Structure 1
Amino acid sequence: MAGNSQRKGAMNKSRKGANVGSGGQRRRGLEGKGPTPKAAERPNHKAYKMAKAAEKRRPPAPRKKRGDEAEWAAGRNSVLEVLRADIPIASLYVAEGIDRDDRVREIFALAVDKRLSVLEVSKPELDRFTDRAVHQGVAAKLPPYEYAHPDDFLETARERGEDPLIVVLDSITDPRNLGAIVRSASGFGAHGVVVPERRAAGMTASAWKTSAGAAARVPVARATNLTRQLKAYAAEGLMIAGLAADGEVALPDLDLAEGPLVLVVGSEGKGLSRLVSETCDVRVSIPMASNLESLNAGVAAGIALYAIDQRRSSGG
């Protein structure tokens, strides 16, 4: 019967219950949706599209420069050499349960003498720290090298009452050559060494080791633009002498050695770059017994610094 609420499936609309009413939808519809988003946050708005386009045009974040990150020495021989060479170490790591041969025992003894912290970690952790290098259960974390500013060397010379002697390296890429030049700079009275910020060797563990401790005595600075830095030194009254195989002045005849001087050493293969060569006041050659012979950058710098030091010591 119509209207019979007792039949199967019938609904009694006269009684209030779960199925009666809007279910609160009308009330929720009357509620606010919160503050209106900013124009730059609404995908269909012009301001949003302009902001996204600006992000695409924005240059990528600058990469960290070499020297800003810690370096790792991995392996028993490598760590032992670092300790023997007095290279600064931040922390020493050993794997759990490492077998202690003669090298490991010496590493522990040197660490105690130098008051280094020794941290025991799991092998997987050491693998991760060293980027899965063959660490043999031992690794050393070296702190980033603290580069000086090129202008610091002028101030050091003034404080000592000396004519500045600065070594500038034009794209030396072998850290062993850099270390050897730093060692010669220390031995022959240079006030500092300048290297380019890019495409050149930095003060790595290899450079430290080759310097035989001289890196702790002679500061190394980085220049963003080598030619601009040479011009800045020239403006301060320093003469610029570049080592070149075809130089117009022989090293023994370099009268400029007695005054404020910048010695520029070219790269291992190409020598001085064009712009750097054009910035030099004079190009200096090292006399050789045979034209077929050549010197690598580290040896050439050592010979030139020795000659300059002799000239300064003798007063000409």
Structure 2
Amino acid sequence: MTELETIVNISDPAVQRIIDVTKHSRSSIRTTLIEDVEPLMQCIRTGVDFIEIYSSDTSPIPDELLELCRRQKIAVRLIDSSIVNQLFKAERKAKTFGIARVPRPARFSDIAKDGGDVVVLDGVKIVGNIGAIVRTSLALGASGIILVDSDLTSIADRRLLRASRGYVFSLPIVLSSREEAIAFMRDRGMPLMVFDAEGELEVNDLGANEDQLALVFGSEKGGPSDLFSEASSASVSIPMISSTESLNVSVSVGIALHARIRRNFAANR
């Protein structure tokens, strides 16, 4: 087993770097904290640029992660557990975590590189739902996600990194206004399909459509905005037992993308 250096002095520059990254008041997010082994490994494989990776001296780092860091020439050190407790205080204490440089923000042109459907989240603000949708979209062949009115200022938000299990850097995610998103779709000739409980189409009707589609989902309470509804080519419903008021938005996205799986998998080959 590799003998790792342990940080035992709170004045070590790495400790200050971690404190700076965890400040909630940062106006410019250039570096971010990525927590837990699985998200760290996913981000490393995606090519995220890490400054250093740390673990509490009471929590052994898995050999698989150590080997991945060695291959990518990422520095790894332990931190005395008493310092870790001071760093995170009342927050959830990560046992293994890393400081990484935030990749440049995704652009519409990044989404346009692939032919899979585009998921548009209109007013979806619950970060846990967005994180689940990121994983589902990647798994089922979407080419990217557009976030509108999400209240996020960066996809490097620690809550989103946790909720997505580190997959947030694995496909393009664009923060956009409604007007910008609609202009992009029109330029691409991409039909907008707005999901609504009273939609004229059912979700299974989308399976035979060979076009690249923009699948628009509103919040569970508010539904899609008027601007997207007016710009849409059609509205789509997901059939369900009438006593059920609505589906969780992440579940709705999964159902819609699964209906499109044949077309999107073909587009990604």
Q: Same fold (TM over 0.5)?
A: yes
Which residue does the alignment assign to 1:79? Answer: 36
Q: State yes or no: 1:278 paired with 2:230.
A: yes
CA distance in 1, matches of 2:94, 2:168: 28
Aligned residues, how many?
233
Q: CA RMSD in A?
A: 3.6
What pairs up with 1:96-135 in 2 under 5 angstroms?
98=57, 100=58, 104-106=59-61, 110-115=65-70, 116-119=74-77, 133=91, 135=93
The structure-2 alpha-carbon separation of the partners of 1:179 and 1:82, relative to structure 1 and needing over 3 Å to count, comes to same
The structure-2 alpha-carbon separation of the partners of 1:274 and 1:237, relative to structure 1 and needing over 3 Å to count, comes to same
Instruction: Indicate which of 85, 92, 99 corresponds to 1:141.
Output: 99
What pairs up with 1:143-222 in 2 under 5 angstroms?
143-154=101-112, 156-157=113-114, 162=115, 165-196=117-148, 199-200=151-152, 202-208=155-161, 210-211=163-164, 214-222=167-175
Displacement of 1:131 in angstroms is: 7.6
The structure-2 alpha-carbon separation of the partners of 1:203 and 1:291, relative to structure 1 and needing over 3 Å to count, comes to farther
8 A contact 1:127–1:133 mirrored in 2? no
Q: Which has the higher strand share?
A: 2
Q: Which has the higher contact order (CA 8 A, sep 6+)?
A: 2
8 A contact 1:192–1:220 mirrored in 2? yes
Letter in 1 for 2:175: R
Letter in 1 for 2:69: K
Identity %: 26
Higher Cα radius of gyration: 1
Which residue does the alignment assign to 1:90? Answer: 51
Q: TM (normalized to structure 2)?
A: 0.68
Compare 302-311 and 204-213 and name the one that shifted more. Answer: 204-213
Which residue does the alignment assign to 1:6? Answer: none
Displacement of 1:313 in angstroms is: 7.4
5+ residue gaps, structure 2:
1-25
